[in-house]
């Protein structure tokens, strides 16, 4: 049985060598598309190819994020030109883990030719127990989530790879023939993909900044796409300490499960994991971005010189600093209904500790010793399109908030005229999200919610 892996990579110099060497123990050939890497990824791939690994490299000149189109192309090529019986679409941060290749092939023989297989992802995180001197992230990261993620990756049999009506969706998490999904057969639980997306502070900075700047710079072409990194970008820009605090989790909250690295020793990655990689990857992109903007300015017929007026900078122009602890971030009220327990941090979503507001309404109680002005101040975000909510105080409208985009942290400040004694605040949501994995009616995430000027009971 002939197995071929296909991968689309960009700026993965810290893990690419370990990934290719380890994957080589599972497959007969590896097709890798490099999307304009500037951090040393392409040079490492070329060195591995010169070393004699069964590795074929690809690229193109397109600027767009065409990851899935490229992956589908390589999948079909693997079947047509590299005699693949099964094709494994793998990202560079996905490390195939299981008993051995013989057992993997044995499982494939139990599946019909028109059904893909699937592998669950098991998320790995940096922790204080890691050996910081180990340059191989597959050996350095030893702690993972207590259980596998609901996210899966498909493995594609040859007949489906050759079928022009069949394609994989974004991320190769599902296969479909035209618009109809094709059911998959999960591999036994002893097999999984060790997912190492959050493997170092340097890599986290790089992927967040590049992803968000690429999205913003492409304007409306990318409207609604790749929203995942927005919150991480905001945290990095506004509160770097909080950003870095969301990268890992305490080892006590994780499971110790070292990965059996099957590759040969690393030869080309010694300088790939440090902060110098950030400059190599970011500066060429920023240079292109600035040059593109400069051409737009140069192309204008006239450049209007606008007089500027110096004005005083008041405290109202400067956002208030975040509270110092999770307890302070949620204060001045008592939840009555529609308010979730504290969750997080969730590193893969860049979320510090937070509370969900559940649809249709969240109700809060505020005890005030006297009639007085106060403010509801909250940092909020949503995952649902066209989300808005209204704020009522004691049954009367107090304000409305409409979200500009998903996964974008926004500051909400609503004046409240509290009466003496008990006050009730009602938040009414226009949208909610229910998933296969979470039956709750998820509406808004509160990163902070404070009542300033009132006193809770």
For the segment 132-144, what is each residue's pLDDT rounded down to a tens digit?
889 999 999 999 9
Q: Report yes or no on 317 lying in a domain.
A: no
> What is the CB neighbour count within 10 angstroms for residue 194?
21
The string of pLDDT tens digits covering residues 21-34 is: 999 999 999 999 99
Comparing 156-160, 186-190, 289-293, 372-376, the range with the smallest average pLDDT is 289-293
- Of 54, 45, 115, 9, residue with least CA distance to 268: 45
- Same domain, residue pair 108 and 145: yes
- How many angstroms separate the CA atoms of 210 and 162, rounded? 34
- pLDDT, one tens digit per residue, over 65-110 is 577 889 999 999 999 999 999 999 999 999 999 999 999 999 999 9
**Do 70 and 149 fall within a single domain?**
yes
With respect to residue 350, please indicate whether it lies within any of the assigned structural domains.
Answer: yes
Same domain, 288 and 361: no
What's the rounded Cα separation, in Å, for the pair 379 and 353? 12
> How many other CB atoms sit within 10 Å of the CB of residue 391?
19
The runs of H, that is alpha helices, within 299-434 are: 326-329
48 and 185 within one domain: yes
Mean pLDDT of 177-200: 93
Choose between 128 and 3: higher pLDDT: 3
Q: At what angle do helices 201-217 and 276-298 cross, to 10 degrees?
A: 10
Distance CA 133, CA 414 (A): 50
CATH number at residue 129: 3.90.550.10
Q: Before 345, cis peptide (omega within 30)?
A: yes
Q: Is the pLDDT reported for residue 436 higher than 90?
A: no
Q: Is the pTM of this model over 0.75?
A: yes
106 and 84 share a domain? yes
Does the pLDDT of residue 217 top 80, yes or no?
yes
**Residues 149, 174: one domain?**
yes
407 and 349 within one domain:
yes
What is the rounded average pLDDT of the residues 265-289?
Answer: 83
CA distance 156 to 175: 8
| Structure-token pair, residue 12 | 């993965």
Q: What is the mean pLDDT of residues 216-224?
A: 67
Residues 87 and 36 in one domain: yes
Same domain, 17 and 79: yes
pLDDT tens across 303-312, in order? 454 556 777 7
Domain carrying residue 2: 1-198
- What domain count does the chain have? 3
Helix ranges restricted to H, 218-342: 230-238, 240-245, 276-298, 326-329
Give me the count of residues in the chain. 457
- Tokens representing 34 are 């490099």
């Amino acid at each position: 049985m002939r197995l071929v892996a296909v991968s689309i990579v960009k700026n993965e110099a810290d893990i690419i060598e370990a990934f290719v060497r380890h994957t080589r123990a599972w497959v007969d050939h590896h097709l890798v598309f490099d999307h304009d890497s500037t951090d040393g990824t392409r040079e490492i791939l070329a060195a591995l190819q010169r070393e004699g690994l069964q590795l074929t490299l690809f690229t193109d000149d397109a600027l767009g994020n065409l990851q899935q189109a490229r992956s589908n192309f390589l999948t079909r090529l693997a079947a047509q030109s590299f005699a693949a019986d099964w094709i494994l679409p793998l990202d560079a941060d996905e490390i195939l883990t299981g008993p051995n290749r013989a057992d993997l092939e044995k499982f494939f023989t139990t599946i019909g030719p028109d059904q893909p297989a699937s592998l669950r992802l098991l998320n790995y995180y940096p922790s204080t127990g890691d050996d910081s001197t180990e340059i191989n992230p597959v050996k350095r990261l030893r702690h993972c989530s207590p259980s596998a993620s609901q996210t899966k990756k498909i493995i594609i049999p040859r007949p489906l790879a050759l079928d022009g009506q069949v394609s994989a969706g974004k991320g190769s998490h599902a296969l479909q023939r035209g618009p109809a999904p094709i059911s998959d057969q999960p591999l036994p639980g002893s097999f999984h993909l060790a997912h190492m997306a959050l493997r170092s502070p340097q890599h986290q900075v790089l992927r967040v900044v590049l992803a968000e700047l690429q999205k913003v710079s492409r304007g409306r072409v990318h409207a609604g796409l790749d929203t995942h990194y927005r919150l991480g970008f905001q945290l990095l820009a506004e509160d770097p300490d909080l950003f870095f605090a969301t990268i890992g989790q305490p080892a006590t909250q994780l499971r110790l499960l070292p990965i059996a690295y099957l590759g040969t020793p690393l030869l080309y990655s010694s300088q790939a994991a440090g902060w110098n990689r950030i400059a190599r990857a970011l500066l060429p992109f920023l240079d292109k971005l600035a040059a593109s903007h400069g051409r737009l300015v140069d192309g204008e017929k006239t450049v209007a010189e606008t007089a500027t007026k110096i004005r005083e900078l008041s405290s109202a122009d400067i956002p208030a600093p975040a509270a110092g602890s999770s307890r302070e971030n949620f204060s001045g009220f008592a939840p009555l209904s529609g308010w979730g327990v504290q969750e997080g941090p969730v590193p893969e979503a860049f979320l510090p500790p937070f509370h969900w507001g559940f649809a249709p309404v969240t109700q809060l109680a505020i005890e005030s010793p006297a009639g007085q002005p106060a403010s509801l101040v909250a940092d909020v975000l949503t995952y649902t399109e066209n989300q808005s909510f209204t704020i009522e105080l004691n049954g009367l409208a107090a304000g409305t908030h409409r979200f500009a985009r998903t996964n974008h942290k926004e500051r909400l400040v609503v004046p409240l005229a509290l009466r003496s004694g008990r006050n009730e605040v009602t938040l009414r949501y226009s949208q909610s999200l229910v998933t296969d994995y979470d039956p709750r009616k998820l509406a808004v995430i509160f990163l902070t919610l404070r009542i300033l000027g009132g006193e809770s009971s």
